[in-house]
C-alpha cells in the first residue's frame, strides 16, 4: 500500500545535499535553475548550504516543473543514481562507518534515515535466502514517485557496495511507480530485474551478504550493538517535532536572502496564514518572535567564530546592517553581540585551558 501524506507531519523536510544532486544535473541540461528555484519558493542560495533542510513538497514541485520544461522522464534516475556515500550527513556517515557488519549498517541507516529525510523510513522483510530492503517514501499529492525512488534505492546499494565493491548490483530492484522503465535506464542495469508497481522502492539482497563482516581494520566495531530488526523504533534520532521546531529548521536557509515572510512559512507548513497564526498563538509565540528566535540561535553560533565581523553576521542572518542586527539581538539577550562574543570566546579559552 502506498504511504499516504496523512502518515507524516505536514512539514516534511529533506537535507539540501540531495536536492543539489538534481541541481547539478539540471544545470548541465541548461535548465534555468535559479528562476525555477524562485518560482518554487526554495532558497536560491541553497547550493551554499548543503546541510540545511528544505521542504520536500516544494522540492517535488521544483523538480516536476524542471522535468516538464526539459521534457525529460528520467530526472529521478539521472540525478538520484549519482548519490554516493559522501552525500550522507556527518552523523549518518560516521555511524555507518563504525558498524561492523552489513546488517548493522543497514540498521543504522534505518534508524538515522529521518535525519536525512523526515518523510522516509526503511524496513526489511526476509524472503527465504533473500532479504527485501525497502524505503517507504512520502510523495506529495500529485507528485511523481520516480523523482526520489532511484535515489533511495541507490543509497542502499551504496551502503552495501562499501564492502561488496563498487560494481555490485542487486539481482532485483522494485519501483513504486507503475510507469514503464525507459530502455535507456534498463540498458545501464545489466542482469538486474526491475519490477514496477511495488508498495515501496526496494532491492533484494542475498542473506549471506548481510551476515558478512566488514574486513577493513578502520571499520572495527566501535559503535554500540544494535539488536532490533531493521526499521524497529529504538534509538533513532527523531528529526520531526512540533511546528515551531520544524519551521525553525525549514526557514533557516532563507535568512541569507532577508526576512522570510509569513506566507512562505504557511506554504511550507501546508496551511493558511491564519491557521499558522492560530497554531503559533496556541504555543504563545508570534511569527515575528519565531524568526527572531531562529536568527538568535544562528547568531550565537556565528559569534563564536572570532574571525567573522559583526556586519558579516548581520548580512548572513538577513539584516540590512549591523545596527538592526544589534538592536534585535539586544531585545532577546539583553546584551550586545560584542558582549556575547566576548563571553563565548572567554568560555572557549577557559575550556581549552582545562587540563
pLDDT tens-digit map of 27-52: 999 999 999 999 999 999 999 999 99
pLDDT in tens, 247-273: 999 999 999 888 999 999 999 999 999
Asked if residue 19 has pLDDT above 70, the reply is: yes
Residues 131 and 254 in one domain: no
In this structure, is residue 102 part of a structural domain?
yes
Distance between CA atoms of 183 and 9, rounded to whole angstroms?
A: 37
- The mean per-residue pLDDT over the stretch 302-328 comes to 90
Question: Is 238 domain-assigned?
Answer: no
Q: 240 is written with which cell numbers?
A: 520531526
pLDDT at 220 over 60: no
Residue 350 has pLDDT above 80, yes or no: no
Domain for residue 314, yes or no? Answer: yes
Note whether residue 231 is domain-resident: no
Least confident of 6-10, 104-108, 234-238, 254-258: 234-238
Regarding whether 255 and 210 lie in a shared domain, the answer is no
Q: Is 276 part of a structural domain of the chain?
A: yes
Statement to judge: residues 253 and 148 lie in one domain = no
289 shares a domain with 198: no
329 in the same domain as 212: no
Q: Which letter does DSSP use for residue 254 in this model?
A: G
Higher pLDDT, 339 or 217: 339
Are 347 and 202 members of one domain? Answer: no
Residues 67, 172: one domain? Answer: yes
**Residue 253 shares a structural domain with residue 128:** no
- CATH number of the domain within which 96 lies: 3.90.1520.10
* Structural domain of 62: 5-219
- Indicate whether 277 and 215 sit together in one domain: no
- In the predicted model, what is the mean pLDDT of residues 134-143? 91
Strands (E) located in the chain? 13-15, 53-55, 120-127, 130-137, 172-174, 193-195, 202-206
146 located within any domain: yes
Residues 248, 191 share a domain: no
pLDDT at 227: 36
pLDDT at 211: 76
202 in the same domain as 289: no
Q: How confident is the model at residue 345 (pLDDT cuts 50, 70, 90)?
A: confident
- Residue 223: its pLDDT value, please? 37
Q: Is the pLDDT reported for residue 192 higher than 50? A: yes
Number of domains forming the structure of the chain: 2
When the pLDDT of each residue in the chain is averaged and rounded to a whole number, the result is: 85
In this prediction, residue 226 has a pLDDT band, given cuts at 50, 70 and 90, of very low
Domain boundary among 219, 254, 271: 219
pLDDT band at 241 (very low <50, low <70, confident <90, very high): low
Residue 272: give its domain's CATH number. Answer: 1.10.10.60
| 149 and 279 together in one domain | no
Amino acid at each position: 500500500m502506498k504511504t499516504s501524506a496523512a502518515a507524516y507531519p505536514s512539514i516534511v523536510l529533506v537535507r539540501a545535499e540531495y536536492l543539489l544532486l538534481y541541481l547539478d544535473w539540471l544545470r548541465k541540461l541548461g535548465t534555468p535553475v535559479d528562476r525555477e528555484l524562485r518560482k518554487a519558493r526554495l532558497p536560491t542560495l541553497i547550493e551554499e548550504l548543503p546541510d540545511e533542510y528544505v521542504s520536500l513538497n516544494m522540492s517535488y514541485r521544483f523538480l516536476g516543473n524542471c522535468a516538464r520544461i526539459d521534457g525529460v522522464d528520467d530526472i529521478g534516475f539521472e540525478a538520484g543514481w549519482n548519490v554516493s556515500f559522501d552525500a550522507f550527513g556527518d552523523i549518518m556517515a560516521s555511524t555507518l562507518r563504525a558498524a561492523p557488519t552489513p546488517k548493522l549498517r543497514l540498521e543504522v541507516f534505518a534508524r538515522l534515515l529521518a535525519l536525512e529525510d523526515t518523510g522516509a523510513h526503511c524496513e526489511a522483510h526476509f524472503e527465504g535466502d533473500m532479504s527485501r530492503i525497502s524505503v517507504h517514501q512520502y510523495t506529495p499529492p500529485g507528485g511523481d514517485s520516480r523523482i526520489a525512488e532511484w535515489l533511495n534505492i541507490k543509497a542502499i546499494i551504496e551502503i552495501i557496495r562499501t564492502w561488496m565493491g563498487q560494481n555490485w548490483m542487486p539481482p532485483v530492484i522494485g519501483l513504486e511507480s507503475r510507469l514503464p522503465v525507459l530502455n535507456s535506464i534498463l540498458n545501464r542495469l545489466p542482469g538486474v530485474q526491475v519490477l514496477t508497481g511495488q508498495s515501496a522502492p526496494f532491492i533484494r539482497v542475498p542473506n549471506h551478504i548481510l551476515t558478512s563482516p566488514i574486513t577493513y581494520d578502520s571499520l572495527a566495531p566501535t559503535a554500540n550493538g544494535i539488536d532490533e530488526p531493521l526499521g524497529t523504533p529504538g534509538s533513532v534520532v527523531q528529526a520531526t517535532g512540533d511546528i515551531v521546531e520544524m519551521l525553525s529548521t525549514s526557514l533557516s536557509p532563507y535568512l541569507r536572502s532577508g526576512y522570510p515572510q509569513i506566507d512562505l512559512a504557511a506554504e511550507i507548513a501546508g496551511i493558511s496564514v491564519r491557521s499558522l497564526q492560530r497554531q503559533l498563538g496556541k504555543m504563545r509565540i508570534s511569527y515575528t518572535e519565531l524568526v527572531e528566535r531562529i536568527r538568535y540561535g544562528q547568531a550565537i553560533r556565528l559569534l563564536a567564530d572570532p574571525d567573522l565581523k559583526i556586519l558579516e553576521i548581520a548580512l548572513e542572518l538577513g539584516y540590512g546592517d549591523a545596527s538592526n542586527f544589534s538592536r534585535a539581538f539586544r531585545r532577546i539577550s539583553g546584551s550586545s553581540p560584542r558582549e556575547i562574543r566576548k563571553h563565548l570566546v572567554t568560555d572557549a579559552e577557559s575550556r581549552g585551558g582545562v587540563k
